[in-house]
Chain A
Amino acid sequence: MSTEISYTDIDDVHDDHEDHDHKPTGFLNRWLFTTNHKDIGTLYLGFSLLMFLIGGAMAMVIRAELFMPGLQLVEPDFFNQMTTMHALVMVFGAVMPAWVGFANWLIPMMIGAPDMALPRMNNWSFWILPFAFTMLLSTLFMDSGGPAAGWTLYPPLVLQTGTSFAFVVFAVHMMGISSIMGSINIIATIFNMRAPGMTLLRMPMFVWTWLITAFLLIAVMPVLAGAVTMLLTDHFFGTNFFNAAGGGDPVMFQHIFWFFGHPEVYIMILPAFGVISEILPTFSRKPLFGYASMVYATATIAFLSFIVWAHHMFTVGMPLQGELFFMYATMLISVPTGVKVFNWVSTMWQGSMTFETPMLFAIGFVVLFTIGGLSGLMLAITAADFQYHDTYFVVAHFHYVLVPGAVFALMAATYYWLPKFSGNMYSEKWGKIHFWLSAIFVNVLFFPQHYLGLAGMPRRIPDYSPQFADFNMISSIGGFAFGATQLIFVGVVLHCVFRSKVKATAGVWESSRGLEWTLQSPPAYHSFTTPPEVTHNMLRHAE
């Protein structure tokens, strides 16, 4: 595929450049105008950490209000703004950009490329995001306040949003443009920039899961753009897409939204699957169990994600055949997901395991994500969902797959690759403290919400019946502790990058395999200037 490229020419050309590492000089050149996959990856990761803290602060407001029954801290409308913005910020500002950040850093290194395929567009896909989120967060300061109809933006409620409405729609458009450009770049890089010998079925799982994630992103971000465009025209230009009096239907929005929304949840979790599939073999000192089945399972999950959307709206009044189809299709997803979980467990089975921080987070992921998967299976049962729908059970479910799921995988990835990125080791002691506090308090935070939901406490309501008081107080205490624990993470990252005296070796971990570990830590500004020879024993998963 890329055999005709002479990488050595790059070195020749660069010899006349003043700087040995040929990093651009000056702050603006380095960060604002950059076309380098590592710098752009760093920008993405820094941005998502900032958004994680902002979105987390909103969650603290929510948990503080729910600490006791009754209205004490915030107005109900502001509470609703917090639930809406918390979700939008965490989904589009924290989790998705963090994965794109890791993709930027890792994919060129993992496939043996010097950089991403389309470096200028790479810059733009990042530099749209700060503007999009400035616009989104600015709505909190408008006279109408921010959006308060939930991140799902259901009409007709969302059409009552005041001044901020159009800003939210356009912010979503900008996030979509950013995601689509980022995904196009990732697909072009994976298809076009692999080193000789890096065949598709030799690619690391993180590359595979991102390839499929990028495909999902390009498929569904335009769908979200279309949905919010229809909201915009219904609000401002007199269309009747979601107005039954004009022959439209508010339920149609839910169908369109969830056609985007369900693949979207896999967009947030598939790269996490990839990361876990990288980390478990390293610390089990065994190849990944069932590499090929992992690839096929990922593709199957992606396919199924397109035909299960209406399980988010079982109670909306669909024909019985529709309810049954979406119930069975949803349950089918547990088959490829089960393949993955069993493969992970089999990877660890009889391995020489050690428990460094990335491994702890990865094992935490396998256990706690599976709990989220099982509650998802409960929600898939149409008849039972009529009881669970819009209760805290749903909140508990998707926070289990997203927090000890996607976020734990992000933490694991950070601890695993940050020594590679920065050239310094993080503090293992504080990493472990961060893990154990996170693992304990994430359960204190979210597990009681299962009981609240089963007992009938509705989501997105600032007040509740006194019978729910105890579990809410426990959940809030867990929330504050979990939130405070993440400040440790910020400290560990800053210490590792700027203060740590312990240098990382090229391999970092005793049993790490894969092309990125053949580079020095930190790697050169352009990852591979000569094409690496990819042999099967360099890769963890090769047969």
Chain B
Amino acid sequence: MRERLPIIIFAIVVAAIPLIPGVPPFWIVLLDNIGLAALVAMGLVLLTGVGGLTSFGQAAFCGFGAYTTAVLSTAYGLSPWLTLPLSLLVSGVAAVLLGLITVRLSGHYLPLGTLAWGLGLFYLFSKLEFLGRNDGISAIPPLSIGSFRMLDPGSIYYAIWVAVLISALLTTNLLDSRTGRAIRALRRGHVAAEAFGVQTPRAKLLVFIHAAVLAGLSGWLYAHLQRAVNPTPFGAQAGIEYLFIAVVGGAGYVWGGVLGAAIVVILKEVLQSYLPLLLHGSGQLETIVFGILLIILLQLAPAGVWPWLVARLPLKPVGKRPDTSLALPARARTPSEGGVLLKIDNARKQFGGVIAVNSVSFDVQAREIVALIGPNGAGKSTTFNLITGVLTTTGGSISVLGRKIDNAPPQEVVKLGISRTFQHVKLVPDMTVLENVAIGAHLRGHSGPVSSMLRLDRADEEKLLAEAARQIERVGLADQMHQLAGSLSLGQQRIVEIARALCVDPMLLLLDEPAAGLRHMEKQRLAALLRDLRDGGMSVLLVEHDMGFVMDLADRIVVLDFGTKIAEGTPEAIKTNPAVIKAYLGVAA
């Protein structure tokens, strides 16, 4: 309840403003516009700030919402309340179609793709006959409840702000859930998220639709506020402005979208009404000043005004320690204990002319710790990537419990009970340790986006967080549970990755240089943990350069050099193997 308090106060203030006697009606118009912009910006926050998908095309989705209701309520006489779901549907379907094309675009292509169809749709709105070409559609009926018709800005005000508050709540709920964590992981690249079963294209499409539906809602409200639509507010200029709003407010924060909308709308209004008086100038003085002020604002608060503000408030979120008594069902283990768990048979990987992994064969038994060692560039991490499906093999086969898995996508491999850590830590630095680790349990939860928005996912969610907390305690980072992952030392971040991998409830744990950056005591603790895991029935395959650590820990060692296996055996045998010594020291000792 405590964390809801600021929102309730905000809602009361918003509800009270029109009731204060003497508030100029013009303020209400401004607040209406802020609300409309905030809806779109909120979607952009999710899409761009959180999901990392920059879109210039959001104004076009407003257009879909507005034109749908305009056409249906004028030409076909449908009630505006009936057109609401249809407007949202049209925006959503348009998002699916455009999204299927655009979310596949990577890097800089994506924003440009959105700019392209944003412009294309704008010209389409202004050329199509049944949308009234450049003149648009007028005489749209107002919203009404019974005989109460929302004709003036003051009466539709409540409709707009109820929509803003509900959307903000649903969006924050979504972000604080299993699906939300998957979305928040998108911005940092897809390899880590996919290694834990997140279907990244689907997650991207989801945020795309969410943002489009919010924009469609804004468009629907806009049409009934203005009671006329024309193409101008749905062009590229508007699309860019929404992005402004999101960035100025704080692109990573839902309430940043609302704050940004307030800042930009009010700033523009003030400039438009006072600058000409002040300077007696004609022309676009306000755009000049607006542009300059925006640049100054960005230089002062590059992350946005909202986080800048929050950092200066005495409100500190208190992380609640999850109730670790809740348990998730464990993986059904096959009874064939003691058999071959992972078998790599003549695996090859070729990058152009370079053979990174050259016909390597080895296996990992159940309850065994196998170390994969070799000089830099020996192909160890590539082997990991072949096993986990990040890379596809050029030849040979990889099987788990006798079932071939070669070239299955990472999301399938993790389902088999193989989880991993990365040589270069891949955590989401602006998420807490707990949230990062909970991504590991992604496949063990079931709540989808809709139930997350409506908070029907809490039972599922508590179990996921309980599992994450248990694994964090197990690796000894209980005190850091609620810190941001990016604030930890590199060694601790590696340990967080192990906890995340453990959340999968794996049969086989792949660790890529887990001991790098750890101090002596921490290494000993890590070794003890790994032995513990093995004795509990787990197998571990690790790449490591710290020979002391490897020799003490591993049951068996496989040595690679230039992509080829040059030795395999117990630590004692490897220590004295002449080929290994030659590979490391360059001469036979």
A and B held together in a complex: no
